[in-house]
Amino acid sequence: MELFEFILLMLAAVSLSNLVNRFIPSVSVPIIQIVLGMLITWLPLHFELKLNPELFLLLFIAPLLFNDGRHADKEALWKLKKPILLLALGLVFVTVAVVGYFLNWLLPVIPLAASFALAAALAPTDAVAVGALEQKVKTPSSDDANSFKTASISFVSISLGGVVLGLLLTLAKYGVVKWLRRLGMENVTLHMLIEILTPFVIFMAAEELGVNGILAVVAAGIAHSFGYKKMNPEVAKLRVVSKSTWSVIVFVLNGLVFLLLGTQLPDIIQTIWNSAEIGNLKVIMYTLLLTAAVLGLRFIWAILMDMVEGTKPRGPWRLRVKKALILSLSGVRGTITLASTMSLPLFLSDGTAFPARDLIIFLAAGVILWTLLASNCLLPLLLGKETQTEQEEEEVQAKIEILRNVVNGLNELTTDQNRLAIAQIINTYTSRIKSLKKEEKNDKVQRALGLSILKWERENTLHAVQKKEVNPVTAYRYLKRINQLLFMHTGDVRYKKELFPVKQWIEVFGMLHPARLSIRERRAELAKLRIQNTAYVIKELNALLAKGETDMESVSSLILQYERTLLLLTRNESDTYNREEFDIMMQELARVGIQLERDNIQTMFETGRISRQGMKEMKRDILFMEHDLREEMG
């Protein structure tokens, strides 16, 4: 039970970290998760998590890299194969060699082979390279100067073995899937479960055969990306489910890695702080030196890559240095680096403790934190304050125009019978428009409109009382509620002290006694007053919309809401239809709206208002909406 409660707490912390980041966007989510993990250790829990390094490697790295392989852009990989190979292989080998020897010189307490292990985790920023080197730096108990040479020689054969095994097991998996499909087993849940199990099975098989399990799952992931190219309804449905499922898995695993670091960090810090071999301030300085070494090597490598690109015209040195700095800082160490160091074994093959394991994890965590802080602070300065390019802003405006055209098209189809259903459909499109606009003043506009509506209702109620069009008792209660809301939002004491204008008190007081009504009569009077007020609010909102001084989407959305309310209040019993008929009408109108949106997207693309990528993203969203609509109708 304690384990289950701990897992729930960790999952809640993953969600909380993203909520905190919403209010403190300047602090990256991994840093927030590490802090939350440390806070969890202070809770009075009756469970102490003891990490198994081998299980950590299997549980986190295998599925994360398999998913990275599935989403790898194969065309871009081939097109940019030269710089990718230079970064993924050349830079990694250089970093492992330089940082490994540098770390061993800086901290002799860490053996050379263990230094290579940490350098291998810190060197790469791409998924394939980290798997290629992290596993291959086998850590013997002796400080063998030939460790790097031995690891380099074994790297090629073991890595190729992992790639071949991953491809072979993927083919075997496809064979099993085809056999299941021939048996008529097209259950998407079953095939999704097989896909989730695939990276774990491949990784465990690779470990048993002594080849690179990381490259095996990456190769399998890339091979799986080809399987989704087939035009098959079952495969298409699996693709939709797979995308959603893997997004949740990756989101949770990435968060759990940093939370687990936070739970382990207090004990690691205490161990390092109490160590007589290293001073407290020195160990922090070592993390800074390691960070500088890793980023400095990356910067030098980027400059050298730019110099040997050939005869291509290059820009001025200032621009080239800026690009190299951006490339260096964008290589932030994260989940894979952390998972690699935390998966180091507790004991060596001869039974002795892994040398300086806590110190290695502390140094890796320090480098991760420093690189995160550097990227958070320096990258915005290098890239500029603009978060959107001019083309992206134009595409956002084009999307808003598309949705407005859909709203106009739906309004043209409005009849007395479908007015309520169309109002609900249009409301979804106006909500999408408001989310695209992302205006900071939107909340203020909504609040101002809400206050205006309350004042309009108060004004119309007082006018109805003057003309004796409404029962005074009903009006008194209605105005009391409106005045309370107005006082709460404005703080104006006038609404607290005044219920009716003073001139009307004598008249109303004389009418209160004979105006007693039954429950049914009070309901009828209240409905009558609400109809009058709703019609008056719609009239004022339309006048406001005609002036064009306020946010159009906000006003239109409120008009639709009040028109829907007015329809519900004024609809006769003979005009009512059951819920099933209304749902069918909603689905048909939703289908019309989707088609209008698709037509407008194509028009915007043909006129050059949106890019091909933007068109693909919008059409993909439409496909998801159509899928949901079919599921509801089914």
* Band of pLDDT at residue 193, cut at 50, 70 and 90: very high
* Band of pLDDT at residue 200, cut at 50, 70 and 90: very high
Residues 376, 467: one domain? Answer: no
The chain-wide mean pLDDT, for the chain, equals: 77
Cα torsion 435, 439, 442, 443 to 10°: value is: 90
CA distance 370 to 359: 16
Q: Residue 25 above 70 pLDDT?
A: yes
CATH of the domain at 276: 1.20.1530
Q: Residue 552 above 50 pLDDT?
A: yes
- SS3 state of residue 160: helix
- Is position 206 within any domain? yes
Q: Are 236 and 7 in contact (CB under 8 A)?
A: no
Residues 325, 254: one domain? Answer: yes
Q: Say what the pLDDT of residue 204 is.
A: 92
Q: Residue 198 above 90 pLDDT?
A: yes
Q: Residue 544 above 90 pLDDT?
A: no
Residues 56, 186: one domain? Answer: yes
Q: Are 337 and 368 in contact (CB under 8 A)?
A: yes
CA distance 433 to 579: 28
- Is position 374 within any domain? yes
* Band of pLDDT at residue 228, cut at 50, 70 and 90: low
Domain that holds residue 79: 2-383
* Band of pLDDT at residue 201, cut at 50, 70 and 90: very high
* Band of pLDDT at residue 514, cut at 50, 70 and 90: very low
Residues 160, 11: one domain? Answer: yes
- SS3 state of residue 319: helix
Residues 267, 193: one domain? Answer: yes
Mean pLDDT to the nearest integer, 189-218: 89
- SS3 state of residue 202: helix
* Band of pLDDT at residue 490, cut at 50, 70 and 90: confident
**The pTM is what?**
0.64
Q: Say what the pLDDT of residue 567 is.
A: 74
Question: Last residue of some domain: 550, 573, 608?
Answer: 550
E-only strand ranges, 266-322: none
Q: Residue 512 above 70 pLDDT?
A: no
Signed CA dihedral, 617, 619, 621, 623: sign only: negative
- SS3 state of residue 585: helix
Signed CA dihedral, 340, 342, 348, 354: sign only: positive
Phi, psi (5° rounding) for residue 125? -115, -5
Q: Say what the pLDDT of residue 398 is.
A: 86
Question: Last residue of some domain: 368, 383, 398?
Answer: 383
Q: Are 143 and 323 in contact (CB under 8 A)?
A: no
Residues 206, 117: one domain? Answer: yes
Residues 505, 374: one domain? Answer: no
Q: Say what the pLDDT of residue 59 is.
A: 84
Strand pairing partners for 353? 347
Residues 135, 37: one domain? Answer: yes
Residues 25, 160: one domain? Answer: yes
Number of structural domains in the chain: 2
Q: Say what the pLDDT of residue 572 is.
A: 59
Q: Say what the pLDDT of residue 165 is.
A: 92
- Is position 574 within any domain? no
Mean pLDDT to the nearest integer, 417-443: 74
- SS3 state of residue 90: helix
Mean pLDDT to the nearest integer, 468-486: 81
Q: Residue 134 above 50 pLDDT?
A: no
381 vs 386, higher pLDDT: 381
Q: Say what the pLDDT of residue 366 is.
A: 84
Q: Say what the pLDDT of residue 503 is.
A: 46
Mean pLDDT to the nearest integer, 623-632: 72
Residues 24, 154: one domain? Answer: yes
Q: Residue 130 above 50 pLDDT?
A: no
Mean pLDDT to the nearest integer, 265-284: 76
- Is position 629 within any domain? no
Mean pLDDT to the nearest integer, 282-297: 87
74 vs 623, higher pLDDT: 623
Residues 453, 520: one domain? Answer: yes
Q: Residue 12 above 50 pLDDT?
A: yes
- Is position 571 within any domain? no
Choice among 3-12, 307-316, 557-566 with the minimum mean pLDDT: 307-316
* Band of pLDDT at residue 135, cut at 50, 70 and 90: very low
> Nearest CA to 544 among 534, 556, 535?
556
Q: Say what the pLDDT of residue 574 is.
A: 46
Q: Residue 232 above 80 pLDDT?
A: no
CA distance 522 to 532: 15
For the segment 445-456, what is each residue's pLDDT rounded down to a tens digit?
777 888 888 888
pLDDT over 70 percentage in the chain: 76
Q: Residue 499 above 60 pLDDT?
A: no
- Is position 609 within any domain? no
- Is position 261 within any domain? yes
What does the block give as tokens for 311?
């005869």
- SS3 state of residue 302: helix
Residues 362, 279: one domain? Answer: yes
CA distance 259 to 39: 10
Mean pLDDT to the nearest integer, 349-354: 78
Q: Say what the pLDDT of residue 420 is.
A: 76
Query: Which residues, at least 6 apart from 399, have a Cβ–Cβ distance to it below 8 Å?
Result: 436, 610, 614, 618
- Is position 388 within any domain? no
> Nearest CA to 10 among 246, 252, 334, 342?
252
Question: Last residue of some domain: 550, 578, 600?
Answer: 550
231 vs 486, higher pLDDT: 486
* Band of pLDDT at residue 74, cut at 50, 70 and 90: low
Mean pLDDT to the nearest integer, 69-87: 69
